[in-house]
Structure 1
């Protein structure tokens, strides 16, 4: 079994808890043993996030923000997004969603790659790196033998990375280990999830409790910097699932 990689928690996992008690939820995450988190929508809650990181000692090596989407920007500029990330100590900003309709042709996918490349030129002015995070539809789309995500990767500048959501890739019909081999060094971050491997997020389980070959996937990510735990939904107590996921992944270090 591979050594446990650096672990983070996507804060979207505990979004309901954050809305109820932001500071207390950040502390609970730290008390479980996480030292890193992956914020989402950080522009709207930058001050609370800065305070939460400072109070808990948590760091944020990556964050999600839909910077390619004008509606999500809400009048903010790319400079606003990336300067805020820099102020919060976030070195990598990941766009987590591009409309499924834009993954049906190679031309549309290359336009997304061009937009990411252009955003990277803005981000680097602030000392920030950018990337893209997949769902299942980028992998279900296969054009001339290549998945949409691979077509995207082929059009990206070297500075733009991928954060592979391993569960969604599997739900999209891919052998994740083989996919990682094809994507190579482009993948620097993983979303590590588990469950029965289907598109319904309500069936997701704590890492180690489902059907994902978690350790084979981690071993195949040869340029992995951080493995990010996430559950989009869970039928029980979310903090139980987060704790169980952390414990399972840490067992890799001594197994």
Structure 2
């Protein structure tokens, strides 16, 4: 794996809102060399300047605004951030993933966005939660049906933790989705809805097997919520992932 380990900045959303530059500096000091923003419209030029100064690249960005704002505005901001991976993180109703017709509508939405993104030199990705895994459609997890209906240029960012919460054997799922997955949210914890996450390596997720199943995907650390100091958890996660990459 040659890509640097990234961190989804939603993990540090509260301190980030208070002092963005200090938070990015601390992330860089931990050893991260990439970040994944979740609001590309929030001062993209200023963000890019600070990230560049700290040696932080942008692995991709979540862009829920694509579903509520003019896409061209979002793509302009993403270009300023310096990435071509634009990820829809939510916003499609969970009920859509319970039937093939609903999944087709979700795919049509993403494929339409992908056509617009291509004109800006960008690619669209989709990030799952548990509700794309829990429903079984035609005997498969709903996200697998979605993958079949997506245009070839649309990629997946698999949130490995929520996939497990949704009932998936995550390494096996990644194997079946091979070629479609370009990023992983690597997270750990008890795999129970509503319970806080832990540092990667401190929970029950089969992290080595997951990484082996998608060796070329970006590794993006995220803790939706954390019972311990979040920066300590990020440092422990980085150390654990670094040790696995070296082994």
The TM-score bracket by the shorter chain reads: over 0.9
Q: How does 1:150-161 map to 2 (within 5 A)?
A: 150-161=144-155
- Give the alignment's TM-score, normalised by structure 1: 0.92
Partner of 1:242: 234
80, 83, 103: which one aligns with 2:76: 83
**Alignment match, 1:31:** 29
Moved more, 28-37 or 39-48: 39-48
Task: Give the aligned partner of residue 146 of structure 1.
Answer: 140
2:114 corresponds to which residue? 120
8 Å contact kept, 1:195–1:210: yes
Tell me whether 170-179 or 36-45 shows the greater mean CA deviation: 36-45
| SS class of match (2:57) | coil
Q: Is 1:211 matched up with 2:209?
A: no
1:195 and 1:204 in contact (8 A); partners too: yes
Report the CA distance between 1:115 and its aligned residue.
1.0
Residues 163-182 of structure 1: pairs in structure 2 closer than 5 A = 163-182=157-176
Which has the higher mean CA deviation after the structures are superposed, 48-57 or 141-150? 48-57
**Residues 5 and 226, structure 1, Cα contact 8 Å, conserved in 2:** yes
The alpha carbon displacement at 1:253 in A equals: 3.2
Residue in structure 1 matched with residue 191 of structure 2 by the alignment = 197
Runs of 4+ in 1 over 4 A off after TM superposition: none
Q: Which moved more, 1:109-118 or 1:40-49?
A: 40-49
TM-score normalized by the length of structure 2:
0.95
- Secondary structure in 2 matching 1:102: helix
Q: Secondary structure at the match of 1:52?
A: helix
Where does structure 1 lack aligned partners over 5 or more consecutive residues? none
| Contact 1:68 1:115 (8 Å CA) reproduced | no
Cα separation, 2, equivalents of 1:67 and 1:107:
24
Question: Aligned partners of 1:111, 1:15: CA distance in 2, in Å?
Answer: 31
Q: Point out where structure 2 has 5 or more consecutive residues left out of the alignment.
A: none
Partners of 1:37 and 1:59 within 8 A in 2? yes
2:178 aligns to what SS in structure 1?
Answer: helix
Comparing 49-58 with 105-114, which one deviates more in the overlay? 49-58
Query: What is the alpha-carbon distance in structure 2 between the residues aligned to residue 197 and residue 4 of structure 1?
Result: 29
Structure 2 distance, partners of 1:153, 1:40, is: 23
The count of aligned residue pairs is 246
What is the CA distance between 1:86 and its match in structure 2? Answer: 1.2
Cα distance between partner residues in 2 of 1:213 and 1:225: 16
Partner residue, 1:64? 62
Measured after TM superposition, the shift of residue 237 of structure 1 is 0.8
Which of the residues 162, 172, 177 maps onto 1:183?
177
Deviates more, 1:118-127 or 1:46-55: 46-55
Within a 5 Å distance, the mapping from 1:10-21 to structure 2 comes to: 10-21=8-19
